[in-house]
Each structure stands twice: as C-alpha cells, then as structure tokens.
Amino acid sequence: MDINQVKQEDEKDPLSKFRAYFFHPKNELYFDGNSLGKLPLKAQKTLHEVIQNQWGEGLIRSWNRYWLDIPKKIGAKYAQLLGVEKEEISIGESTSVRLYQILHALISSGLFPKHLTTDILNFPTDLYVMEGLKKNFEISPITVVSYPNEIEADIEKLKRTIKNHPGIICLSLVSYKSAFLYPMRLLNRWAAKHSSIIVWDLSHAIGAVAIDLKKTKTKIALGCTYKYMNGGPGAPAFLYVNKIIQTNLFNPIQGWFGHQRPFDFEKNYIPAQGIGRFASGTPAILSMAAMEAGVDIVLEAGIESLRNKSVLQSELLLKMAQEELIPLGFLIESPIEPEYRGSHVTLSHDGAWQICQALLAGSQSHPKIIPDFRPPNFIRFGITPLYTQYRDLWTLVDTLKTIMNTKSYLNFSVEKTTVT
C-alpha cells in the first residue's frame, strides 16, 4: 500500500473529526496512547475553570456547588460505557489501590476459596499487590500460570488451573506486552462453575475494546483512565462491583468519604451503602475534573466505531510489518487474529531500545515518533483510533525501514532512561 492509498483511508475515516479534539505537538507522531493518552482540549478549559473560578474564587464553597458530585457524575459516564448501572461504579484512587481494596475484601468475605491465581501475561503490579496480601492472610502460595511465550495465553491451561485451584483470579483483559485479548465471558462462566471469581484489570482495554460487563457476566473489574480514555497522567481509577455482591464486601481502607454520613464526624465507622463504601479519602478534584473530557469523547465517538477502526489500523500495521519489517529482523509479538488482540501492536528486535531512541530523535526526512519500549526487546505501538491516522502508520513503517537500512539506530546508547 502506497502513501496515496493510505491518505484515501484517512479521507473516508468516519472518526477523523475527533483528532481535532486533542492537542498535537508539531512534527511528531504519537504511538504511546496505550501508556498515556493525549491531552483533550476540553480538559485544558475545564482545568482553567476549576482552578481559576471554582478553587480561586469559590474556595470551600465549591464543595457544595461543584465538587461533591464529581465522582458520581463521572462514574455514571463510565457505567454507560461499560454497560452497567451507575450505582456499580466508583471513581477514585489508583488502580493498585483499587486492586488491593477489592482483593482484600474478597479474601475477607469468605465467599470464595482463599487462593489467589494470576498468569505470566498480567501486569507486574497486579502480582505485587497479590504478594503483599499473601503476607497479611494465611493463604496458600499464589499460582502464576505460565505459557510457552509472551504473546498469548493458553486458555485451556488457564481453565484447568482454575478448576484445580478455585478461588480469586486476577487477569488483565488485554495483556500489556502483546495485547492478547482474553475471552472474558467464557472465563467468567468457567470461574463461576468452579466456585471462583475473576477480577478483571481493564487498563489496556477500556476505550479501545468494546466491553459489556453485564453480558460477559463480570462481577468485578477495575482499571486506569489515562491510557485510551485520555484522562491525564495519574488520573483516578475506576472500580466496578456488581450489585449482587456489594453488601458482602467491605473496604479495608476505611476513610471518611466511605462513611455513611461523612460530615457528621462520628467516632465509629459505618460503611456507606452500596458502591459508596469503596470510597476512602478526599476525591482528587483537579484530576477528576481533567478526566471527564476523555470519557465524553469516547462516548460521543462510540466504542463500537472505535473498535472497528482499531482493528482496521492494526491489521494495516501488521500487514506492513509482515511484508517490510520482518525481512529487517523484526518479529511480530502480538496475536494475528483481531478477536484475540487489543489496540496495540508489539514488535521485537535485538536492538529494540536503540531503535526506539532513533524514532524519538527524528531526522530531516522523518518526524519524531514516540513508541513504547518494554524489556527485554519489545517495542509497542499504541493505536488510538480517536487521533491515530492511517498515514501515521505508513510513516512509522517507512521510518523504521530507513533506520534499519542505514543502521542509524546503532549510533544511540544502549543505556536506558528511568521511564521507557
């Protein structure tokens, strides 16, 4: 496919208008929306309003006028996106804190066997949280299911493990390295059949993959909001808890905003009814105000349309990679079948770190390109349908070909920065 054919795809793209909703640095292509989404222009205006008028002028009065309802307001929008009721979504804290809260609550509840399971494809932080909880409870060693490679899960092996070691399972719906997409409904049904529950981390899926938590029989899910949801760096996480089990679970981090009557300042803690009990400390108002623009844009664009474009663009990138990059020493480290793939494409190469630095540097003939390195030798390219253009993918592959053919990447240091 040549550049003119690619440009034609951009011209007929039904989502093309949404690119104008974001701030774009000049002479730069961005393929890291799977790590941190771009800045919505509306978020800039909202933050100015909140800082200048609500905080600056309104001061403490703004709690009653604006701020107390922000978590519920945003939660209702996330509920709409995920196909659940607004009373089942809590906004706040980080993904790690949310995972700690819900795993602690599940272990303490006695509803499921006290055994924790995850797999090798899960994001490392999830395992860190599980290891910390194991120290607090007298439970058996954590089961970590391994697979022959880092590309895809062996679903049959995972099912056997759940059957043989029932309990609480934590999985990422989309794997952070390879973008492997798990069969959510199938695994939920299997877990329920074997007295188990799956806690789903949706961080690399929400905003790029169509998710209906009711139809998939999901009981617990959580995730960050700063990747494909474009909520801003460190934006608060979301937590979904199905109404059926809310009353049986208790938040281990008992803070005043999780109290039934927080402004009565009672000495004894009484958990709020329903999803409100999973609130803890004071809401991060500036971060919550900034994250609303992102979910509004996703809802306006429509998740089915976003998913369709994501599949088309990732198929194009994979096709070009197979034809033009594999001969240059790259390997494809993402599933080929779109039904098993999220919205990023991962390649590997022995010189992955230096190749990333060459992309970031740009040249007189090519723009700066921001990819995403993951050890030991993976390069992730995040496709964010709201602002990724088809021509961007063509330019990416063309630039990689130039870097490899000229061996210019060898001029860059192998020493890694802190954030990769």
Q: What is the pLDDT of residues 390-418, one digit of tens each?
A: 999 999 999 999 999 999 999 999 998 88
Q: What is the pLDDT of residues 242-287, one digit of tens each?
A: 999 999 999 999 999 999 999 999 999 999 999 999 999 999 999 9
Token pair of 315, please? 């198929």
Q: What is the pLDDT of residues 149-168, one digit of tens each?
A: 989 999 999 999 999 999 99
Token pair of 41, please? 């222009």
What percent of the chain is predicted at pLDDT more than 90?
Answer: 96
Q: Give me the pLDDT at residue 104, please.
A: 98
| pLDDT exceeds cutoff 80 at 420 | no
DSSP string, 330-384: -EE-S-SSGGGB-SEEEEE-TTHHHHHHHHHH--SSS-EEE-EEETTTEEEEE--
Inter-CA distances, 111 with 96, 187, 197, 248, Å: 22, 18, 9, 8
| pLDDT exceeds cutoff 90 at 2 | no
Q: Can you give the pTM of this predicted structure?
A: 0.97
Q: Cα–Cα distance between 249 and 115 in angstroms, integer? A: 17
**Domain ranges in the chain?**
3-30+302-411, 44-300
Q: What is the pLDDT of residues 344-388, one digit of tens each?
A: 999 999 999 999 999 999 998 899 999 999 999 999 999 999 999
Radius of gyration, alpha carbons of the chain: 22
Q: Give me the pLDDT at residue 418, please.
A: 85
Q: Give me the pLDDT at residue 335, please.
A: 98
- According to CATH, the topology of domain 3-30+302-411 is Aspartate Aminotransferase, domain 1 (3.90.1150)
CATH number of 44-300: 3.40.640.10
Q: What is the pLDDT of residues 299-316, one digit of tens each?
A: 999 999 999 999 999 999
